[in-house]
Amino acid sequence: MRRLSLLAVPAILTACSSSPAASPTDEPPAVAPPSQILADRSPTPPSTRGVVTAETVASGLVNPWAIEFLPDGRALVTERPGRLRVLSLAGQLSAPVAGVPAVFAQGQGGLLDVAVDPQFAQNQRVYLSFAEAGAGGSGTAVARARFTGSALEDVQVIYRQEPKLNGGAHYGSRLVFDRDGRLYITQGDRMNWRERAQDLAMGQGKIMRIATDGSTPADNPFAGQGSVQSAIWSYGHRNVQAAALHPETGQLWTVEHGARGGDELNHPERGRNYGWPVITYGVDYSGARIGEGSAKAGLEQPVYYWDPVIAPSGMAFYTANAIPGWKGSVLIGSLSPGALVRLELTNGRVTSETRYLGELGERIRDVTVGPDGFVYVVTDSGNGRVLRLKPVVG
């Protein structure tokens, strides 16, 4: 059972780069009923030095958003303005790959995640998530294509968030394959439309699960239920920009942005409601309360939350041996204050948190584990880099 947490206090950091600056407030979030068990809260540890060193593998990227390794050791890197590049084994970046779908590159929108098909050796397929313009505004979309090495061919959009809405924030979006080859798509509430996260007829604020051709798996929790969007796996999410599959249990784990406070670590389960914006551990950027408090019957609690926020983006389970003591850890990128966050889990609960790379002053947008066992991160800026983390020797 989770222990009772301290009540959340107003955070001083914002969760997203385009969010308005925080302002002081004397109004705390509403208190949960005494009978509710609240989530564990991060102790906000300082960044630790002397454990890993970061070396630059590539630079000159414009707001890189995701990195994903191919079976041959090369990596695909997305740039938010709409470019996909190939990172060679020698650390050289290719010219932009041809055939990338047109993206809505405004605000937080653009080219987002990239995922490699589990059967890539047979079908050469890759998947891209991106912000797509259309009637009514824009929304998260996913395309699949065949990767030839320098171009995408047979490009097909297999998912579109509906309805499209005005604004340029909170698209999500990470792509994760489950063990059956189904594709999870994490999304956001589009910020100004947060109530949509509770509406099962709307795509905003949901995690979707689809087959690789875009069809709905028959075992989805809302398949065949009238006006409900059948691709929905879970709902009540704010803006999920970090996701990974647990290597032992096969369970999806995510981290989503809160507002001022309330970033959440979850393992979204089929058909469950994760509460946004009815419950949250944060407050609005104005300092006003959001919803009804931090807990409510029938709504899921996070496993763990951050206040102040880490502004999470990118996530990986470390399964290699190249960095001593890290095996089994969860690694999460932080945009603000900027760090690599490492969590240790025991029986599904966070037992420790350590942070690294704070001295770089960089926004960590994505994190993955390379075939060499080292950790790779991308930094989100107009001169973004791919960094390789190695243990400090001596």
Q: What is the pLDDT of residues 118-149, one digit of tens each?
A: 999 999 999 999 999 999 999 999 999 999 99
pLDDT band at 37 (very low <50, low <70, confident <90, very high): confident
Per-residue pLDDT at 92: 97
Buried b (16+ CB within 10 A) or exposed e, 155-184: eeebbbbebbbebbbbbbbbbbbbeeebbb
Instruction: Please determine, looking at this structure, whether the domain spanning 40-391 carries the CATH number 2.120.10.30.
Output: yes
Spatial contact of 92 and 58, defined as CB atoms under 8 Å apart: yes
257 given a catalytic annotation: no
Longest dimension (CA), the chain: 62
The count of other CB atoms within 10 Å of the CB of residue 153 is 11
Pairing of strands 240-245, 232-235: unpaired
Tokens for 60, please give them: 């000159």
Spatial contact of 88 and 74, defined as CB atoms under 8 Å apart: yes
The string of DSSP codes covering 90-104 is TSPBPSPPBTPPP--
H-helix or E-strand containing 120? Answer: helix 120-123
Buried b (16+ CB within 10 A) or exposed e, 332-368: bbbbbbbbbbbbebeeeebeebbbbbbebebbbbbbb
- The residue-averaged pLDDT of 248-276 equals 98
Residue 23 has pLDDT above 80, yes or no: no
Residue matched to tokens 């290597």: 247
Beta bridge pairs of residue 183? 177, 210
Buried b (16+ CB within 10 A) or exposed e, 80-102: bebbbbbbeeeeebeebbebbbe
Distance from C-alpha of 235 to C-alpha of 115, rounded to nearest angstrom: 22
Q: Pick the closest to residue 229 from 126, 311, 159 (CA basis).
A: 159
Phi, psi for residue 313 in degrees, rounded to 5: -155, 120
Tokens for 113, please give them: 């995640």
Whether the upstream peptide bond of residue 371 has omega within 30° of 0, thus cis, is no
Residue 11 has pLDDT above 70, yes or no: no
H-helix or E-strand containing 123? Answer: helix 120-123
Spatial contact of 365 and 42, defined as CB atoms under 8 Å apart: no
Among residues 170, 237, 257, 267, the one annotated as catalytic is 170
Q: How remote is the C-alpha of 279 from its chain's centroid?
A: 20
- The residue-averaged pLDDT of 243-255 equals 98
Cα angle 272-274-277, degrees, rounded to a multiple of 5: 135
Strands annotated E in 290-338: 304-306, 312-317, 330-334
Distance from C-alpha of 364 to C-alpha of 362, rounded to nearest angstrom: 6
Residue type, 374: F
- The residue-averaged pLDDT of 151-176 equals 98
- Burial, 219: exposed, middle or buried (Cβ in 10 Å; 0-12, 13-18, 19+)? exposed
Per-residue pLDDT at 393: 87
Residue pLDDT, tens place only, 106-119: 999 999 999 999 99
pLDDT band at 35 (very low <50, low <70, confident <90, very high): very low
Tokens for 47, please give them: 């960044």
Distance from C-alpha of 28 to C-alpha of 262, rounded to nearest angstrom: 12
Share of the chain above pLDDT 70, in %: 91
First and final CA of the chain: distance in angstroms? 41
Residue pLDDT, tens place only, 290-329: 999 999 999 999 999 999 999 999 999 999 999 999 999 9
Distance from C-alpha of 387 to C-alpha of 156, rounded to nearest angstrom: 32
Residue 16 has pLDDT above 80, yes or no: no
Residue matched to tokens 């019957």: 297
Per-residue pLDDT at 110: 98
Q: How remote is the C-alpha of 195 from its chain's centroid?
A: 20
Residue pLDDT, tens place only, 191-246: 999 999 999 999 999 999 999 999 999 999 999 999 999 999 999 999 999 999 99
Per-residue pLDDT at 36: 61
Pairing of strands 304-306, 263-266: antiparallel
Residue 10 has pLDDT above 50, yes or no: no
How much is the mean pLDDT over the chain?
92
